[in-house]
Amino acid sequence: MGGESITQSCSAQNEGAGAVIKLGEVIMILDLHRQGLTVSAIARELGIDRKTVRKCIARGLEPPVYGPRKPRQRRIDPFVPYLRERVMAYPGLTGRRLLRELRERGYEGGYTAVTDLLREIRPVPLPTFEVRFETPPGDQAQVDFAQFQVQFTDEPAVTRIVWLFSFVLGFSRLIWARFVLHQDMQTVLRCHMAAFEAIGGILHEILYDRMKTAVIGDAGGSIVYNRALVDFARHYGFQPKACRPYRAKTKGKVERPYRYIREDFFLARSFRNLDDLNAQLRHWLDTVANPRLHATTQRVVNDAFAEEKVHLKMLPLAANRLTRPRTQPS
C-alpha cells in the first residue's frame, strides 16, 4: 500500500473542520513548518484549514492507525451448530467420523479445522502412560469380547446385549470383528474359524484376556486353558497365550480397537437386526478401519497386512470337528 493512501488522524472535526488528511499531506505540513512558514501560510499553500495544520504540527508524525479487520467466515462456521449437537449427544465420536459426516453435508474444509473446533467443544482427555510392544509379522493376534447394548429397529422396545468378538493382528493392526449374541465356546471357535478364513492363514500365537472360554484358572502357577480351545489350537497350529493378570496393557492392540469401533462405528447409528449390524460393521472395516493410516505404526493397515500375510501359516485342509455342525456364530 502506497503512503498517499494512508490517513493521519490530524482532523479537526471537533473544532469545525471535517477534513481527514493523508500521510503525504502531513509530511508536507511538517516540512513546510521546518522551513519557517507560518500556520496561515501552510494552510494557504496546501488548501487545508489552519486548525488542522496547527493540530498536525502539534502531534507530529504519528504511525498510521489501522482499524480492525472484519473477520472472514471460515469454511467450518456453517457446520458449528451441527458439530455441537453431535458432540453433545455423542461425546465420543471421533474427528474422522465427524469429518465424514460433514463431507456428506457439503463441507469442503480440512480435517484440522474440525479437530481445532472439537478441542473447543469438548475437554481434552488426560494423557495416559503406556508401554507399547511390537510383534513380528505373522507372530501374534489378540482376541477378546466387548459388551454392547443395542435397540434394533425391528424390535425397538427391546434393549439387547450383544458381544463384539475382535481379532486384531499384532503387526499390521488389521481388524476382523463380528457381533454375536453369546460368549460360549462354540461361538468363540466359529469366530476364530471365520477370522482365519478371512485373513487366509494362521498366526503363530493368539493372546487372550483371561476370559472363561479361554482360561479355566491357575494350577501351581501355570495357566490352565479350556480343553476345547487347546484341541482347537492344536488342530489349527497356533499357541494360545493368556494375558498376564492385572496387565491389560499387554493386550492394548485389542483394548484400543474396541473403543475405536464403539466411537467411530457404533455410536449414532441404527441397525435393523443382528445381520444388519454385522453387514454395516463389515462395510466399515473394509472402507474405513483397515484402509486407514494407523496412528501408532504410521502405515496404512491394509498395506502392512499385505506384508504380514506372507508370514501366515496355511489353513488346515479339514475343518475342526467342533465347528462342523454350524458355520455361522449365533
For the chain, helix, strand, coil in percent to 5 are 45, 15, 40
Residue 192, Cβ density class (10 Å: 0-12 exposed, 13-18 middle, ≥19 buried)? buried
CA distance 77 to 79: 5
What is the pairing mode between strands 205-208 and 175-180?
A: unpaired
Tell me the three state secondary structure of residue 316: coil
- DSSP assignment, residue 314? P
Span between the terminal Cα atoms of the chain, in Å: 74
CA atoms within 13 A on the CB side of 20: 7
pTM of the model: 0.66
Query: CA 201 → CA 142, 194, 251, 283, 305, distances in Å?
Result: 15, 11, 21, 22, 12
Query: How is 4-35 classified by DSSP, letter by letter?
Result: GG-B-S---GGGT-----BHHHHHHHHHHHHT
Task: Identify the residue whose cell numbers are 453433545.
Answer: 88
CA distance 229 to 184: 12
Q: 140-323 domain in CATH 3.30.420.10?
A: yes
28-51 burial: b if 16+ Cβ within 10 Å, else e: bbbebbeeebebeebbeeeebbbb
CA distance 287 to 178: 16
Which secondary-structure segment (H or E) carries 164?
strand 160-169
pLDDT (tens, 9 = 90+) of the chain, 330 residues, equals 444 444 555 654 434 444 567 778 888 888 888 888 899 988 888 888 888 888 888 887 765 565 677 778 889 999 999 999 998 888 889 999 999 999 999 999 999 999 999 988 876 565 554 445 678 999 999 998 899 999 999 999 999 999 999 999 999 999 999 999 999 999 999 999 999 999 999 999 999 876 778 887 776 667 788 899 999 999 999 999 987 654 445 555 555 678 899 999 999 999 999 999 999 999 999 999 999 999 888 999 999 999 999 999 999 987 666 554 444 444
CATH code matching the domain that covers 3-59, chosen among 1.10.3470, 2.20.25, 1.25.10, 1.10.10: 1.10.10
